[in-house]
Amino acid sequence: MTTMTQTSARFREFKMPDVGEGLTEAEILKWFVQPGDTVTDGQVVCEVETAKAAVELPIPFDGVVHELRFAEGTTVDVGEVIITVDVAPGSEDAPAPAAAAPVQEPVEAAPAEEPKGRTPVLVGYGVAESSTKRRPRKGAAPEAAAVAAAVQAELNGHGSAAPVAPVVPQAPVDAPPVGRPLAKPPVRKLAKDLGIDLATVVPTGKDGIITREDVHAAAAPAAAAAAVAPEVAEPVAVSVPETPATVGSARETRIPVKGVRKAIAQAMVGSAFTAPHVTEFVTVDVTRTMKLVAELKEDKEMAGVRVNPLLVIAKALLVAIRRNPEVNAAWDEANQEIVQKHYVNLGIAAATPRGLIVPNIKDAHDKTLPQLAAALGELVATARDGKTSPAAMAGGTVTITNVGVFGVDTGTPILNPGESAILAVGAIKLQPWVHKGKVKPRQVTTLALSFDHRLVDGELGSKVLADVAAILEQPKRLITWA
């Protein structure tokens, strides 16, 4: 009992924090430290990917890294311990390091036949002893049970009582005792989805832990075996079919849904099936807006900031919201209220290497044109670098998505959850247009406004879209209407 107290006092655990607002999990992208490395308070030890951002995690104390609990690429729940640190490395009462094989403390149990290596304790199932007998799985075929028993005896060094199918993989000398297979929760879920029994998988991970690669390796022979002998109750790892495992390998690729893609999927499904969407369209001559953009690029007041059509479009939307403030609202289902927002946090949909994110410019309604241009530039640069924080993506009220950069004319955008409207901007193209009674080549684009019909009526939505179009057609309205 004293040892446990001393160990607890000496080793400190660092848990996966909630780096955003209400996030429940994060994927470990990269470790910057390894066991044995010295760390100091505030030093970044790893990078994790949350719902929509990559975040670096600093450790809040000094010491020497004792153990990394999860490998890179693992999705970890908030609150799970991810690293342990020895905060008193000079003490003599320390337990063996994480990678050491023998355990120094005596065990008050039946004497074991040989010293046991340290078996990692994974969440939810503790340490298993080799002498522990497992209850047979429901539905297991007698043949599979016999093979499993033979493999158990072979790994325990007692030899095989009966002939076993050929090619028995030899476990490493320091592998953990065979009991419940050691695998982390995401790997267990993957095995379940693929129909793989973890007891038949040969582990290659540290301390005998089954990895994702092990499961995928076992899935290929299992698929081929199922095709050759579908009546076999359970695939056995020791039986290797001669038929090449080509089913699906060249025609399909399975990508785990996690991180940004998982967040996008949840948000879009939640929005599409919660808010009744209405989308309206308008095609507008933006020739004068393009001339204004060219003039602003030469203006010394705009020096050092990026000027493009999106800047003027953003300002036009902000003016339209000022003229129609009811559109800047949110639906509170729990309290059955419409929440009017007296500020505009303008979201800008940004395509990044990790997927679509929607950071927003806080209090965009209060910014001058140069300030808005600077905020847009910073927002886009941060997003493309993958450094957008969860806070930067929270609290948006209205969003702009510029599909025109891909050469697309328009679309029917889905609302960002918690917002009432989203404006899609199409490609600006030179087209024939009736101008002052004559057909002339003009620069034209199509705008699409989707809005939540629970709180935005057709009249209100139409007014907002018409105001944005009118400003882009006559940019001087930015002055007269503002």
Mean pLDDT of the chain: 77
Q: If you count DSSP H runs as helices and E runs as strands, how many of each does the chain have, helices first? A: 10, 19
Separation CA 96–CA 197 (nearest Å): 33
- In a 3-state reduction of DSSP, which class is residue 108? coil
Whether 248 has a pLDDT exceeding 80, the answer reads no
pLDDT of residue 21: 58
pLDDT of residue 192: 76
Contact assessment for residue 318 and residue 307, using Cβ atoms and an 8 Å cutoff: no
Contact assessment for residue 117 and residue 54, using Cβ atoms and an 8 Å cutoff: no
pLDDT, average across residues 67-79: 91
Tokens 């690293």, residue located: 83
Least confident of 51-55, 107-111, 258-262: 107-111
Separation CA 97–CA 370 (nearest Å): 57
Is 277 noted as a catalytic residue in this protein? no
Least confident of 30-39, 74-83, 159-168: 159-168
Confidence of residue 413 (pLDDT cuts 50, 70, 90): very high
The separation between CA 290 and the C-alpha centre of its own chain, rounded to angstroms, equals 38
pLDDT, average across residues 431-451: 96
Whether 180 has a pLDDT exceeding 70, the answer reads no
Nearest to 258 by CA among 193, 183, 186: 186
The kind and range of the H/E element at 3 are helix 2-10
Whether 239 has a pLDDT exceeding 90, the answer reads no
Which of 50-64, 139-153, 180-194, 408-422 is most confident? 408-422
Confidence of residue 216 (pLDDT cuts 50, 70, 90): confident
Tokens standing for 277? 């969407």
pLDDT of residue 185: 63
Whether 369 has a pLDDT exceeding 70, the answer reads yes
What is the phi/psi pair of residue 130, to 5°? -65, -25
The string of pLDDT tens digits covering residues 130-178 is: 444 444 444 444 444 444 444 444 444 444 444 444 444 444 444 444 4
pLDDT, average across residues 237-259: 60
Separation CA 376–CA 313 (nearest Å): 12
Tokens standing for 342? 């007296």
The string of pLDDT tens digits covering residues 326-347 is: 999 999 988 999 999 999 999 9
Contact assessment for residue 178 and residue 154, using Cβ atoms and an 8 Å cutoff: no
pLDDT of residue 142: 47
Separation CA 194–CA 192 (nearest Å): 5
Q: Which residue has the higher pLDDT, 397 or 10?
A: 397
User: Would you call 201 exposed, middle or buried from its count of C-beta atoms within 10 A (0-12, 13-18, 19+)?
Assistant: buried
- In a 3-state reduction of DSSP, which class is residue 443? strand
Start-end of H helices in 195-237: 212-228
pLDDT of residue 453: 93
pLDDT, average across residues 222-239: 42
Confidence of residue 118 (pLDDT cuts 50, 70, 90): very low
- In a 3-state reduction of DSSP, which class is residue 189? helix
Which of 27-36, 232-241, 384-393 is most confident? 27-36
Which of 71-80, 133-142, 419-428 is most confident? 419-428
pLDDT, average across residues 337-364: 91
Predicted TM-score (pTM) of this structure: 0.56
Contact assessment for residue 121 and residue 128, using Cβ atoms and an 8 Å cutoff: no
pLDDT of residue 148: 46
pLDDT of residue 34: 93
Least confident of 111-115, 401-405, 461-465: 111-115
Which of 8-12, 39-43, 140-144 is most confident? 39-43
Separation CA 142–CA 191 (nearest Å): 22
For the chain, what percent of residues have pLDDT higher than 70? 72
Separation CA 348–CA 181 (nearest Å): 47
Residues near 138 by beta carbon (within 8 Å), at least 6 away in sequence = none
Nearest to 387 by CA among 121, 105, 55, 126: 55
pLDDT of residue 162: 44
Query: Which of 158, 342, 435, 453 does the annotation list as catalytic?
Result: 453
Q: Which residue has the higher pLDDT, 174 or 236?
A: 174
Residues near 167 by beta carbon (within 8 Å), at least 6 away in sequence = 238, 240
pLDDT, average across residues 3-12: 59
Separation CA 359–CA 352 (nearest Å): 12
Tokens 């060219």, residue located: 294
pLDDT of residue 32: 94
Angle between the 287-298 and 458-473 helix axes, to the nearest 10 degrees?
60
pLDDT of residue 221: 60
Tokens standing for 43? 């030093």
> Count of residues for the chain?
482
Cα–Cα distances (Å) from 181 to 100, 128, 143, 211, in that order, read: 21, 9, 20, 11
pLDDT of residue 233: 38
The string of pLDDT tens digits covering residues 291-306 is: 999 999 999 989 989 9
pLDDT of residue 8: 60
The string of pLDDT tens digits covering residues 22-34 is: 678 888 989 999 9
Separation CA 165–CA 145 (nearest Å): 13
Both ends of the chain: CA-CA distance in Å?
Answer: 73
What is the phi/psi pair of residue 352, to 5°? -125, 165
Confidence of residue 200 (pLDDT cuts 50, 70, 90): confident
Contact assessment for residue 386 and residue 352, using Cβ atoms and an 8 Å cutoff: yes
pLDDT of residue 135: 45
pLDDT, average across residues 101-122: 42
Residues near 156 by beta carbon (within 8 Å), at least 6 away in sequence = 130, 177, 178
Angle between the 287-298 and 309-323 helix axes, to the nearest 10 degrees?
110
Tokens standing for 65? 């890294």
Q: Which residue has the higher pLDDT, 131 or 359?
A: 359
